[in-house]
Amino acid sequence: MKRTIALAACVATGTTAGVAVGAKPVEPVQVVRIDETGVLPAGTLCPFPVTLRTVGQLRIKQEANRSFVNPNLRDTLTGPGGTLTSKDVGLDRTTFLPDGTITILSTGIHFQARTPDGTKVLQGIGARKITISPSGDVDVVFKNPNDSSGEAQCAFL
């Protein structure tokens, strides 16, 4: 009886399963699962080779000239002297401009490194804007001056 009344109420108000008629449809989201291991050759990140294992997922939503990527990744960096783990979570919004320029606004945790005992040694949290010109030049502007990874991590590897 209650089910019949609820169904009649939905029909009378023009709703189905709690969604109003004319509501904007939910955009499809693609989930890409990642479990990859590779070696960064000497000189790429550190003066010695570093093994990088990345595990997690990317949630991707595509619009006309933008893509939105929500990473949830855990990186394990292993060098000759140790191991660091890092996570990357947040939102990356990429915009493709008519002149061929690509801008990426990346917010969240970009790099948060911990030693195997859990000690936090490096951190990059905040926002950064990455601009890639049509010729391939890359410009990175950090909104938080402490948001950089680079060479400091090599001291722990």
pLDDT in tens, 51-106: 999 999 989 998 877 889 888 988 888 999 888 888 888 888 899 999 999 998 88
pTM of the entire structure?
0.62
Helix, strand, or coil (residue 42): coil
pLDDT above 80: residue 23: no
| Residues, the chain | 157
The per-residue pLDDT for 146 is 57
The per-residue pLDDT for 51 is 94
Q: Domain boundaries in the chain?
A: 27-156
Q: Phi/psi of residue 23, each to 5°?
A: -65, 145
What is the spatial distance between Cα 157 and Cα 60, in angstroms, rounded to a whole number? 32
The per-residue pLDDT for 14 is 37
